[in-house]
Structure 1
């Protein structure tokens, strides 16, 4: 389980995250909603050790990880899939996966790669090709696969459907649900609130760097302020 308690992050004099608390439990998808600038991506980056934490606690399986180097946090079992996928375009699909498993013993990494290929058959088909030649949806699957190579307990996903063709969005979010169902805890920032709520178990809403709503996906769908902000007034009577 990932536990975030009263997290605060500043860029100079600007406090980007102001006392956010959230959690992600194994086998569950926790969806993070919020407008641009609400502090969503900064929260994920702080948890992953990529930006300094001003104050607050982040615990992975009960152990504090604030201040640990990012590569050690990966070894501890937490991995970030960044916005924009960030695959290594000149490298092959398989080379990208190998890099994702650098913390694991070789035999375990090979076994995990077979699991990734079973989950995303297109990656097996394209394993010898350059990652940069994949479609946006295929690159997102590669980004998921690369993260899975470290056998994480917790995955942080930053805007997994951003920039994808509508036909690919449901497939990508379906893969998110499948990863959670395998027992991984997922904390997911997602711009497509309606589809995000379909796969989510729990929801956190951020506004101006603060968490203004915690609850189940069902509660979020019935909470008027959440519905108006992310689904539109029509959803209140739909």
Structure 2
């Protein structure tokens, strides 16, 4: 289990994340909602080792992650799929995937590559094509596959549906669900609330760096604190 306890992250004098507690269990999707600037991406980057904590702790399976460099976080089984996909456009699909497996034992790379191609057949069909020629949805699948090459136990997803057509979003969300069904714990930041709620088991809502709601996905649409996080004070005064 991934666990964050009283996590604070600061940029200079600005506190971007304030006292966040959360847990991500294997085989579940934990959804993070909130307006732009709430601290959601910063929180993911902190888990991935890309930004330091001001205080608090991040542990996975009882071992401390906070303070480790990103490559050691990946080796512990936690990997980030960043916002905007960030594939290596000049490289082929297979080269991108093999880069994702650089922390894994070489003997496992071929086996894991076969599993990724089974999950994403379109990547197998175009394995020799440049990643820059893929559509946005295909690049997101490549980013998923690249993350899976390290055989993670936890995957951090930052806005996986951003900029994608609605039909493609459905496919991407389906793939996220399949990852969870395989036993991977998913911590997903997503602005497409409806799509995220379709597969999430639990939800946390962040606003101004702190968590203002935590509970089952089914409560999100009716909880006043969630409405306040997205719509402000007016949401609580309307009849």
Q: TM-score, normalised by structure 1?
A: 0.95
* Aligned residue in 2 for 1:177: 177
> 1:150 Cα shift?
0.2
* Aligned residue in 2 for 1:130: 130
CA contact (8 A) 1:193 1:230 kept: no
Aligned residues: 234
* Aligned residue in 1 for 2:99: 99
Q: Deviations over 1:75-134 (max 9, x none)?
A: 000000000000000000000000000011122111111110000000001100000000
* Aligned residue in 2 for 1:53: 53
* Aligned residue in 1 for 2:214: 214
User: Is 1:35 matched with 2:35?
Assistant: yes
Aligned counterparts, 1:15-94, within 5 A: 15-94=15-94
- Residue aligned with 1:180, SS: helix
Q: Show structure 1 runs of 4+ deviating over 6 A.
A: none
> 1:223 Cα shift?
1.8
Q: Deviations over 1:145-192 (max 9, x none)?
A: 000000001000000000111110010011111100100001000010
CA contact (8 A) 1:6 1:21 kept: yes
Q: Which is worse superposed, 213-222 or 172-181?
A: 213-222
Q: Distance in 2 between matches of 1:170 and 1:125?
A: 21
RMSD: 1.7
Q: Distance in 2 between matches of 1:230 and 1:116?
A: 36
* Aligned residue in 2 for 1:236: none
Q: TM-score, normalised by structure 2?
A: 0.94
Aligned counterparts, 1:192-207, within 5 A: 192-207=192-207
- Residue aligned with 2:26, SS: coil
> 1:225 Cα shift?
3.8
CA contact (8 A) 2:180 2:186 kept: yes
Q: Distance in 1 between matches of 2:224 and 2:212?
A: 13
Q: Deviations over 1:166-224 (max 9, x none)?
A: 11001001111110010000100001001110110110100000001111111223324
The answer for unaligned runs of 5 or more in structure 2 is none
- Residue aligned with 2:220, SS: helix
* Aligned residue in 1 for 2:109: 109
- Residue aligned with 1:222, SS: coil
- Residue aligned with 2:221, SS: helix
CA contact (8 A) 1:9 1:18 kept: yes
